[in-house]
Amino acid sequence: MYDTLLSVWRSSAGRRGAREKVTRAGGLSPDELHRVAASVRELSRGLTRDRALAGERYLSDPALLGAYLLHFWPVSYCQALLCAAMMRRASGAMTASGGSGLGTVLDVGAGPGAVSLALLDSGAARVTALDRSGAALSLARRIAEARDQELATHTWDATGTTAPPGGPFDLIALGHTLNELWAGHPDRIGLRAQLVQRLAGQLAPNGRVLILEPALMSTAQEAILVRDRLAAAGFVVELPCIWQEACPALPDGTCHGEFEWSPPPAMVRLAHAARIGRETLKMAWFVLRKAPVPPVGDPAASPDGGLYRVVSDPLLSKSGRVRYLVCGPLGRFALSAARGERGPGLAPFFRLARGDGIRFTGAVRRETGWGLDPRCTVDVVQRTPRLE
């Protein structure tokens, strides 16, 4: 895949790959590596720090295009692969007709097609990519053609009033799209939620919406606010949430997924040159379905036996207890055990990872949440996937 991106970038930039002195270790010549790394830093600053490039047509800049294709495109692609894997694991067949795979997909704000290609590689029967940039969609088609894949594309502005073409769709994906729409508008959360609701009119029965956003504090919090608006409007949050009410991480905190992966060696070399770490994949993401909201659990009840999602890394308290934040039928709370505690059913607790789905028994209420002792059991029923 990375060789394809490199080839498309070189041809788009008017460079002739045969004349480049490509290094065996990284795929980029030293001169290319220096120039692209500088553009990666610029694009990273504009998308993740001062956010000056969010929503701008940065792909029209050849230098920033190279930075996107060779650094950010693989990130979005792998994030979408993970989302697709977790959707299949949680729901089995995702198509409305009950077939295998992801069915028909609409990718809104597709850009050069990272999410589109990931969903095709994950078994989608057909993907239609929409974006306001015809140049970006042209790149998406070229990448697909280089991999002998078919990708339908249409120019479409998500902030307009026209309906998207086609449908019905089994899955509508918005990958790193919502955070760039109506940026700075005082009612941007409402406008984004309204867009998702409008798009949901193109869903097949039992169709889903995938929202994938950066894990920055600001973008993740705004993604959660959109999630809350949609949940209040009658959507069920199928993944990763179990709790269906307004997210308890707000207003001061946030919630995101974090996954281990092994990026391409050429991308590792570029990231190091740009002084940007990519040891893990972080993202805020939700899969929603239009359906009646299930009843909320009684906060006074015991959490024993319910399915809970681990939503933090392990934390160590001053008293020596290992704590994880978990979220499920009774909301979000700390689940802890003494660091040296041992018991035949307690061992899995000390090996939990963010995103794991667990069930536990024997928990006792503590002032700061719920506690486990050697008589308790913890079962990991859903492991966070890893991309090799």
Strands 280-290 and 257-260: antiparallel
Under 8 Å between Cβ of 139 and 160: no
Residue ranges per domain, the chain?
A: 79-290, 308-382
Alpha-carbon span 130 to 27, nearest angstrom: 31
Residue 95 — φ and ψ, nearest 5°? Answer: -75, 150
Q: Do 79-290 and 308-382 have matching folds? A: no
Taking the model in full, what pTM does it have? 0.89
| Number of residues in the chain | 388
Rg over alpha carbons for the chain, rounded to the nearest Å, is: 22
- Residue 96: what pLDDT? 43
Query: Domain 308-382, CATH 2.40.50.140 — does that match?
Result: yes
Alpha-carbon span 132 to 58, nearest angstrom: 13
Distance of CA 318 to the CA centre of its chain: 33
Rounded to whole angstroms, what are the CA distances from 370 to 303, 314, 365?
Answer: 9, 15, 4
Alpha-carbon span 234 to 366, nearest angstrom: 34
By the 10 Å C-beta count (0-12 exposed, 13-18 middle, 19+ buried), 187 is classed as exposed
Which pair of structure tokens corresponds to residue 104? 């028909």
Under 8 Å between Cβ of 63 and 39: yes
Helix or strand or coil: residue 174?
strand
Residue 210 — φ and ψ, nearest 5°? Answer: -110, 120
Under 8 Å between Cβ of 254 and 223: no
DSSP code of 163? P
Alpha-carbon span 296 to 282, nearest angstrom: 28
Choices 1.10.357.10, 3.40.50.150, 3.40.1280.10, 3.90.1150.10: CATH for 79-290? 3.40.50.150
Tens of pLDDT along the chain (388 residues) come to 888 998 888 887 655 443 444 443 347 888 889 999 999 999 888 887 777 777 666 777 878 888 889 999 999 999 999 999 999 887 654 344 444 468 999 999 999 999 999 999 999 999 999 999 888 899 999 999 999 999 999 999 999 888 888 889 999 999 999 999 998 899 999 999 999 999 999 999 889 999 999 999 999 999 999 999 999 999 999 999 999 999 999 999 999 999 988 888 888 899 999 988 777 899 999 999 987 545 555 555 789 899 999 999 999 988 889 999 999 999 999 999 999 888 889 999 999 999 999 999 999 999 889 999 999 999 999 998 887 6
Helix or strand or coil: residue 97?
coil
Alpha-carbon span 209 to 159, nearest angstrom: 18
- Residue 381: what pLDDT? 94
Under 8 Å between Cβ of 32 and 69: no
Alpha-carbon span 42 to 46, nearest angstrom: 6
